[in-house]
Amino acid sequence: MKKSKLLAAMLAVVMTGTLFFGCGKSKDTSETPKTDDKQTETPAEDPAPEVEQKIVYNLGADPKTIDPQLNSAVDGSTIIHNAFEGLMREDSTGQIVPAVAEKYDVSEDGTVYKFYLRKDAKWSDGKPVVAGDFEYAWKRALNPEVAAEYAYQLYYIKNGEAFYSKKDGVTIDDIGVKALDDSTLEVTLEAPCPYFLSLAAFPTYFPTRQDIIETNGDRWALSPETYIGNGPFKMSEWVAKESMTFVKNENYWDAANVKLETLQVKLIDDEVTYLSAFKAGEIDVIESPPQAEIPSLVAAGTAEIYPYLGTYFYVINLSDNGKNVDAKAAEFLANPKVREALTLAIDRTLIADKVAQGGQKPATSYVPEGVLDSAGKEFQKDYLPPTADIEQAKKLLEEAGYPNGEGAPTVTFTFNTGSGHQMIAQAIQDMWKKNLGIDIELKNEEWAVFQDTRTNFNYLIARHGWIGDYNDPMTFLDMWTTGNGQNNSGYSNPEYDELIAAAKVEIDDAKRTEMLHKAEDILMGDLPIIPIYFYTNVLCINPKVQGTYKSLLGQMEFRDAYVE
């Protein structure tokens, strides 16, 4: 598919509701026949049976957390988006529209926002949502003791980074967010940010209740009784490793337009199992069916492939903080020529077409296709060949001192449980052995354990993936700055850090784009990451389900969903 066509597709959020064609009686609108010059009455048709407004959706494994300020994964984001709501939200067309904020004002210089909250916005326990709930949540995310991985997403706020970094003299009161009254939130930024309204629709910016969190501590987000949200649904049950159940939040400000009464979220992480449950009618919506099944599911119309703003990649541990990491293997991977050799020895086209099989495209860069710069133009550019360059990979490995892999240590590759990840890992394991003579040991871990392993640098090479938090190159590039909470590589390059920092305050579109391109040039030269393919969404949806959609940014939305 050409870039222009892909871009057009990716600018529209994926609407997953499909038309349902059924057989039924057609209603005759012609004149009724007469007998004895008297019109006979047509018997009234029986009313259609009422359909239970319940959807069963499979999320996968239990999310690590569903705390808006602590979550950093797509699965947790889906739960949070349906149980909470920010000042703004992404609608079914992909537009950012007012949510809890009824309206907003922006200063001429673009640095001061005033959000005016809806008077009828309430929490699921009936208490009003006030501006102070947002002020508390944002300052909570910026509290270094909370250790929010996404704290950096609030560095756009004046003194946000200074407070998080414990800069001398900067207190929590200096952070540029203030509730002027219960209905007015004033936000002062460090510099104009073209995507700040998109950030206001991001989970880390969602409100949370100070009284609930201070009373219950970290356990507040583990129980239906204390998981108090302000979104269209509220939790009624959570059976660990089995399911979460949500019901319509009658206190939601727009509850009159929420048709769904029950949203049951299954927590099945085995692809074969949840596909079988879907085929049996036990689950209405699944994502990522088994890779080997995708071609036949698509051909049968059971599954559809949609665009997705993200990159599937491997991350390399360049940190000195890891524990239980083989020192010889770590030294081997610290050599930039080794990392480039590993990158060039992969046939991305084969992985996308023959292993993943979901319409993915080979990742020839880190920032994926469909990402737009601040002028609205396609940002992506190619750095890698779509197929393997074995000759160059061997040359680089020899220059690094390991001709044909001689003397190279065995390297452990860690991935989270899932047949899809395993099949890709096995294919790349084979390529690295065949093309470079390097032995790879595969290690799989449960999702929650794996996330801790990667965050704590207890790995050598690990599976990773990143879905944009908003449509701008910055969401893919600023995570690799030194010390960033999402920098699971431990990568550090001062020049890279300077370019990202400068781009964040640059108001000239062309200069900003140039800085971000230079930053990616450095990243793709240093290669702390190995891009594999650009994501797609593969979804199977019961035809009776309407109005649900999967955002290009990852989360499934059920606010407008219903059963036909």
- 464-486 in b/e form (b: 16+ CB < 10 A) is bbbbbbbbbbbbbbbbbbeebbb
With cut-offs at 50, 70 and 90, classify the pLDDT of residue 212: very high
pLDDT recorded at residue 47:
54
Nearest to 355 by CA among 409, 419, 275, 439: 419
Dmax of the chain from CA atoms?
Answer: 105
- Mean pLDDT along residues 138-163: 97
Q: Left (φ > 0), alpha (ψ -120 to 50) or beta: where does 221 sit?
A: alpha
Tens of pLDDT, residues 389-439: 999 999 999 999 999 999 999 999 999 998 899 999 999 999 999 999 999
Tens of pLDDT, residues 43-52: 455 555 689 9
Mean pLDDT, rounded, of the chain: 91
Q: Rounded to 10 degrees, what is the CA torsion of 204, 205, 206, 209?
A: 90
Q: Given a cut of 50, is residue 313 above it in pLDDT? A: yes
Cβ-based neighbours of 402, under 8 Å, separated by 6 or more: 332, 338, 408, 438
Distances (CA, A) of 335 to 318, 340, 353, 392: 10, 9, 31, 16
pLDDT recorded at residue 324:
77
Q: Find tokens 């003397």 and name the residue.
A: 407
**Least confident segment among 39-53, 145-159, 520-534:** 39-53
523, containing H or E segment: helix 509-526
Task: Give me Rg for the CA atoms of the chain.
Answer: 26
Grouping H, G, I as helix, E, B as strand and the rest as coil, residue 316 is: strand
pLDDT recorded at residue 31:
29
Nearest to 67 by CA among 265, 227, 202: 227
- Mean pLDDT along residues 497-504: 97
Cβ-based neighbours of 521, under 8 Å, separated by 6 or more: none
Residue 106, strand partner residues: 113
Tens of pLDDT, residues 341-369: 999 999 999 999 999 999 999 999 999 99
Beta-carbon count within 10 A of 404 CB: 12
Number of H helices, E strands in the chain: 17, 24
**Phi, then psi, of 350 in degrees rounded to 5:** -65, -45
Tens of pLDDT, residues 117-141: 999 999 999 999 999 999 999 999 9
pLDDT recorded at residue 49:
66
- Mean pLDDT along residues 519-528: 98
Show the tokens assigned to 349. Answer: 């086209």
Q: Is-contact 462 322, C-beta < 8 A?
A: no
pTM above threshold 0.85? yes
Q: Is-contact 295 452, C-beta < 8 A?
A: no
Q: Given a cut of 50, is residue 35 above it in pLDDT? A: no
**Least confident segment among 93-97, 315-319, 385-389:** 93-97
Cβ-based neighbours of 193, under 8 Å, separated by 6 or more: 110, 156, 199, 504
CA angle (373 as vertex; 506, 70 as ends), nearest 5? 80
CA–CA distance, 513 with 519 (Å, rounded to integer): 10
Q: Is-contact 108 102, C-beta < 8 A?
A: no
Residue 458: burial class (beta carbons within 10 Å; 0-12, 13-18, 19+): middle
One-letter amino acid identity for 173? D
Q: Given a cut of 70, is residue 27 above it in pLDDT? A: no
Selected residue with higher pLDDT from 525 and 29: 525
Q: Is-contact 287 418, C-beta < 8 A?
A: no
DSSP state letters, 381-428 = ---S-SS--HHHHHHHHHHTT-GGGTTPPPEEEEEES-HHHHHHHHHH
CA–CA distance, 312 with 554 (Å, rounded to integer): 13
With cut-offs at 50, 70 and 90, classify the pLDDT of residue 19: very low
Beta-carbon count within 10 A of 167 CB: 11
Q: What is the DSSP letter of 189?
A: B
Grouping H, G, I as helix, E, B as strand and the rest as coil, residue 306 is: strand
pLDDT recorded at residue 128:
98
463, containing H or E segment: strand 461-467
Nearest to 232 by CA among 259, 205, 267, 204: 259
Q: Given a cut of 80, is residue 529 above it in pLDDT? A: yes
Q: What is the DSSP letter of 512?
A: H
CA angle (314 as vertex; 311, 316 as ends), nearest 5? 135
DSSP state letters, 68-99 = TTT--SHHHHHHHHHH---SEEE-TTS-EEES
Q: Given a cut of 60, is residue 150 above it in pLDDT? A: yes
Tens of pLDDT, residues 57-68: 999 999 999 999
Q: Is-contact 436 346, C-beta < 8 A?
A: no
Q: Is-contact 416 463, C-beta < 8 A?
A: yes
Percentages helix, strand, coil for the chain (3-state, rounded to 5) are 35, 20, 45
Tens of pLDDT, residues 434-474: 999 999 999 999 999 999 999 999 999 999 999 999 999 99
Q: What domains does the chain contain, in order, with CATH numbers?
A: 54-284+542-563 (3.40.190.10), 308-537 (3.10.105.10)
Show the tokens assigned to 365. Answer: 């860069």
CA angle (366 as vertex; 360, 368 as ends), nearest 5? 50
